[in-house]
Chain A
Amino acid sequence: MDGAAVIADALGRINRVLHRAMDGVPAETLNKQPAPGSNSMAWLAWHLCRVQDHHISDLLEVPQLWVSDGWHEKFGMAKDESETGTGHTLEQVAALEVDSAGLSLGYADAVFERAKQYLATVTPEGLDAEINEPQYTPLPTIGVRLVSVISDNTQHAGQVMYARGMVQGFGWMNV
């Protein structure tokens, strides 16, 4: 099993966690900030997908699905590739709302599909290719970039699971 397959497997698990946590959940629940000053399920899922879309599209050297496939419009947000939610204020978190789990998961599935297709082309040697981002020393490699996506996305997926418990009751996954 090579590195790209490990990454694809991890992204697949993340995608399944999102479905498990969000399938059939009403928009009201997804949009709720579980505690004052905390991130909603909708925001968390949106943010991790933005990170994945941003990084995978960068590696593919194509526009993000966020803009090329009109996902920004579906979310009622600006056509801005730099908007990933990093550094969002509480007001910005509160302003992000979805009309259904289908919107959140639609974007998640589209981004994951692109990631899978990209990863199928990555060789073990390819993982060591450097990315030209001179703001970092040493230059990151494709492998390092993909590791950062897995770590970020898995953490946020876990937060979606926890947030659901906060809104709907803990132990929801055991019922």
Chain B
Amino acid sequence: MSTIELYADTIRRSDADLHRALDDLSTEDLRNQPAGEGSNPIGWLVWHLTRTRDTISASIAGETSIWESGGWGARFGLEGELPRFAPADVHLFDPKDFATLVGYFDAVAEKSLKIVEGLTDADMTRMVEPTIPGRPAQPVKNRLAIILNDNIQHIGQVSYLRGLIRGHGWY
């Protein structure tokens, strides 16, 4: 198992868990805050983890993000500079519907996997500019590790919220 296969397997496995956690939920479930006011809803979590994977993957590949090239901003009604959602206003994020939210996720997952599987060992230590201005450049391997750590934490959070909606031990 190569390093690339390891990254790919970990992400694929976790993405399968995400799909299970989303299975058969309603559009309302994407918006609701079962953990209470100020908590990150499922829709926001999925959007955020996808944006993270999208921007980091694009910067690794030196390409435009799927968000831009696929016109997803318009589809989410979030054109131009994206707001930073804080607990006080995260409920204002509109996930639209499953087709839009999961459509974006699936497009990014597919593209990101292609980018990762196209990397070589030499790429791993190549320095990449940060997606957040002002942060230091990091090697590709660090950027991939950040995708894993950020995304899989949020996938776990979606599963936790499904438990609040559907009951303990749903899996």
Q: Tell me whether A23 is interfacial, beta carbon within 8 Å.
A: no
Q: Per a CB cutoff under 8 Å, which of B35, B86, B153 touches A158?
A: B153
Given contacts A38-B164, A170-B39, contact A1 B3 (CB under 8 A): yes
Contact of A39 with B1 in the complex, beta carbons under 8 Å: no
Within B35-82, which residues are at the interface with A (CB < 8 Å)?
35-36, 38-40
B152 touching A151 by the CB < 8 A rule? yes
Mark A residues whose CB is within 8 Å of B.
Answer: 1-3, 6-7, 9-10, 13-14, 17, 34-35, 37-39, 87, 89-90, 93, 124, 127-128, 141, 143-144, 146-148, 150-151, 154-159, 161-163, 165-166, 169-171, 174
Among B2, B34, B145, B154, the residue within 8 A (CB) of A124 is B2
Chain B residue at minimal CB-CB distance from A157: B153
Measured between beta carbons, the chain A residues less than 8 angstroms from B102 are: none
Within 8 A of A (CB), among B109-147: 121, 124-125, 141, 145
Q: CB distance A170 to B156 under 8 Å? A: no
Closest to B154 in A: A158
B83, CB-defined interface residue at 8 Å = no
Contact A158 B155 (CB under 8 A): yes
Contact between chains at B152 and A38 (CB < 8 Å): no
B32 at the interface (CB under 8 A from A): no
Cβ A3 vs Cβ B153 within 8 A: no
Interface residue ranges of B1-32 to A (CB < 8 Å): 1-3, 5-7, 9-10, 13-14, 17
The listed residue (B36, B125, B149) touching A166 by CB distance below 8 A is B36
Name the prevailing secondary structure of the B interface residues.
helix
Listed in ascending order, the chain B residues whose CB lies under 8 Å from chain A are 1-3, 5-7, 9-10, 13-14, 17, 34-36, 38-40, 86-87, 121, 124-125, 141, 145, 148-149, 152-157, 159-160, 163-164, 167-169
B35 near A34 with CB under 8 A, answer yes
Given contacts A87-B169, A158-B153, A161-B153, contact A3 B2 (CB under 8 A): yes
- Main secondary structure on A side of the interface with B: helix
Q: Are B9 and A147 in contact (CB under 8 A)?
A: yes
A6 and B86 alpha carbons, distance in the complex (Å): 32
**Contact across chains for B160 and A38 when beta carbons are under 8 A apart:** yes
Task: Determine the residue in chain A with the shortest Cβ distance to B9.
Answer: A147
Q: Which residues of A contact B9 (CB under 8 A)?
A: 143-144, 147
Question: Could you say which residues of chain A place their CB within 8 Å of the CB of B124?
Answer: 1
